[in-house]
Amino acid sequence: MSPPQRRPAIRAVSFEDVGEAIARLIVVAGSDTGQASRAADFLLAWWDGSAWGHFPVLHLCNCDPGISEDMLIVMAHLAAEPSVYPDAWGYRDAMAALVEQWRPA
């Protein structure tokens, strides 16, 4: 069996692209829009799904295309670099704020 080939979409996603997508998702997740909880679910499931919950894939089609695309940008990067978290882009404090907002004790 041959190893899986890397896909062009995954190669096209840069570290900077992901950082920009995360920034946009954090803004949405921190807002009071109808899509805020979906963006928060996505980010928190990535940060620590066992503690903060999981992300239903159906949420992708329940968001505006730009928000879904930002989620896919992050996922494409994770397909190539699976052990990276929002902290790598300096978003630790923003993620902690989302935990307080969406997963209060």
pLDDT tier for residue 9 given thresholds of 50, 70 and 90? low
pTM of the model: 0.89
pLDDT tier for residue 1 given thresholds of 50, 70 and 90? low
Give the start-to-end residue ranges of the domains of the chain: 19-102
Instruction: Please state which of the ranges 43-52, 53-62, 79-88 shows the lowest mean pLDDT.
Output: 79-88
CB 53, CB 44: distance < 8 Å: yes
